[in-house]
Amino acid sequence: MLAIQSERLVETVKRIYHNVAYYRDKMQQAGLTPFDIKGVEDLHKLPFTTKSDLRDNYPFGLFTVPMSEIVRLHASSGTTGKPTVVGYTRKDINMWAEVVTRSLCMAGVHKNDIVQIAYGYGLFTGGLGIHYGTENLGASVIPISGGNTQKQIQLMQDFNSSVLCCTPSYALYISDVLNEAGIDPETLNLRVGIFGAEPWSEAMRKEIERKLKLRAIDIYGLSEIVGPGVSCECEYQQGMHVHEDHFIPEIIDPITLKPVTDGEVGELVFSTITKEGIPLLRYRTRDLTRLIYDKCSCGRTLVRMEKCKGRSDDMLIIRGVNVFPSQIESVLLEMSETEPHYLLIVERENTLDTLSLMVEVQEQFFSDEIRKLQDLRKRITHKLESTLGLTVDVKLVEPKTIERTAGKAKRVIDKRNI
């Protein structure tokens, strides 16, 4: 494995050095050229790549091929208004399908399965990512995308879906709707669930398995690395196997940025070694976890990562969507000259996440007419919806309602117990 990784890493470093001025500058500033990287043992010398690097080079600055070679573009949330864009060559699309296929096989999915894909299809990598992997496997895809729960259930019954792919919170929501409709999950054909795109606990897993009568498998990915399929659990559900012949994982201390000792928890960093469109070296995911190098009970020796324990930044995942509090701040700042005081409250009501935003009505927002205040509220709601893709319940409150803190303002209260 080390030999394959080293060879691919060296090629990738050369590719990036010669095609991406931004990263080449970073390497030169660190006194490095491609000749200094001879294998995986030199990986730690390379500079990191972060989400803000993608934002600063929006949209295509980090691509190593011309647009004529790019056959697909995807995007995900950026820390402020701009999304982060990723591009795929044909080879990348095939590789992505391959890692997802591997993931599905590990999870126990086979070509005779009927796979209901309820991840969103579109710019989000979830839907199309699982789709191509499933087709590649030879199973039958139902590309239903998210939402319309009545229809999801109808198709599960009529088409005999055996595999369900969606966010874990949506899976729980579906189980609630089934329950209310008096449908016994035993009457459905579901056997495996492929759940990801947001953090979920062991307790949630047990609940989903109990309520939907399937094996709930954790899948991990992020669009910057490729999409879903970077790692996935096998049937033993003891950590997610990383496809390390394509993505080299490292764990670093998020403060010192140095690699941690084996088995310690830290921030997950990936280097893509086979991507052509937008290969990234030492990309900081901001997800906290640890790596397990022992051989798994399934027999695979691919390194495993544990369920993510949290983030090393302030990003939230709400209904599978990445939300940065700073995005909310930019929206509010667009509407006022001074920094608004706001508080974001995230709750989970009956398995679905809800977002409410309290905004203090300071002089710059105030109007003597009810109509204008209601308009203000509507405008904030609409702007947030178009920026985040989520509906936020906006509450106008009096000044000083929101607690002032001595240090950095506490902008988010997450009441969910995931």
Partner 1 sequence: MLIKQISVFLENKSGRLNEVSQVLGEAEINISAFSVADTSEFGILRLIVSDPDKALDVLHEHGFTVSQTDVVCLSCPNQAGALAKALKILSKNEISIEYLYALSMGDAASVILKPNDVERCIEVLKKNKLELIKASDLYKI
Q: Are 193 and 214 in contact (CB under 8 A)?
A: yes
List 374, 375, 378, 391, residue binding partner 1 (CB under 8 A)? 374
Q: Does 373 bind partner 1 (CB under 8 A)?
A: yes
Contact 283, 292 (CB under 8 A): no
CA 234 to CA 104: how far, in whole Å? 9
The alpha carbon torsion through 117, 118, 122, 126 (nearest 10 deg) reads: -70
Which of 177, 397, 412, 418 lies at the binding interface for partner 1 (CB under 8 A)? Answer: 397
Stretch that binds partner 1, among 32-40, 198-206, 287-295, 394-402 (CB under 8 A): 394-402
Taking CB under 8 A as the criterion, the residue among 94, 148, 187, 367 binding partner 1 is 367
Q: How many residues bind partner 1 (CB under 8 A)?
A: 18
Burial of residue 398 (CB within 10 Å: 0-12, 13-18, 19+) is exposed
CB of 367 to partner 1, least distance (A): 8
CB of 399 to partner 1, least distance (A): 5
Q: Does 147 bind partner 1 (CB under 8 A)?
A: no
Residue position matching structure tokens 């759940």: 195
Rounded to a whole number of angstroms, the minimum distance from the CB of residue 359 to partner 1 is 11
Q: Give the interface segment with partner 1, choosing from 12-20, 105-113, 173-181, 359-367 (CB under 8 A).
A: 359-367
Structure token pair of residue 183? 């449908």
Q: Looking up tokens 């509220």, which residue turns up?
A: 377
Cis peptide before 340 (omega within 30 of 0): no
Minimum CB–partner distance for residue 341 and partner 1 (Å): 12
Piece of the chain touching partner 1 by CB under 8 A; list 146-154, 207-215, 323-331, 357-365? 357-365
Q: For residue 362, state whether it binds partner 1 (rule: CB under 8 A).
A: yes
Which region, judged by CB under 8 A, interacts with partner 1, from 143-151, 172-180, 237-245, 399-407? 399-407
**In contact, 9 and 273? CB cutoff 8 Å:** yes
The single residue among 396, 409, 412, 418 that binds partner 1, judged by CB under 8 A, is 396
* Strand duo 192-195 + 215-222: pairing: parallel
Residue 370 C-beta: closest distance to partner 1, Å: 5
Candidates 232-240, 274-282, 366-374, 384-392; binding stretch for partner 1 (CB under 8 A): 366-374
Q: What are the Cα distances from residue 233, in Å, to 84, 162, 203, 249, 293? A: 27, 18, 16, 16, 14
How many whole angstroms separate alpha carbon 108 and alpha carbon 110? Answer: 6
Should residue 398 be labelled a site residue for partner 1 when binding is judged by CB under 8 A?
A: yes
Q: Determine if 180 is a binding residue for partner 1 (CB under 8 A).
A: no
Residue 240, classed as helix, strand or coil, is: strand
Q: Cα(67)–Cα(318) distance, rounded to whole angstroms?
A: 33
Amino acid identity of 133? G
CA 320/CA 196 separation, integer angstroms: 8
236 part of the interface to partner 1, by CB under 8 A: no
How would you list the strands of the sheet with 266-272, edge to edge? 247-252, 266-272, 283-289, 310-311
Q: Is 370 in the site for partner 1 (CB under 8 A)?
A: yes
Contact segment (CB under 8 A) with partner 1 among 100-108, 221-229, 291-299, 395-403 equals 395-403
Per the listing, tokens 């949290």 go with 310
Q: Which of 35, 236, 293, 366 binds partner 1 (CB under 8 A)?
A: 366
- Least spacing, CB of residue 411 vs partner 1, in Å: 20
Is the torsion defined by CA of 360, 366, 369, 375 positive or negative?
A: negative
Task: Mark the segment that binds partner 1 (CB under 8 A) among 124-132, 175-183, 318-326, 367-375.
Answer: 367-375
Residues that bind partner 1 in the complex, under the rule CB under 8 A? 361-363, 365-370, 373-374, 395-401
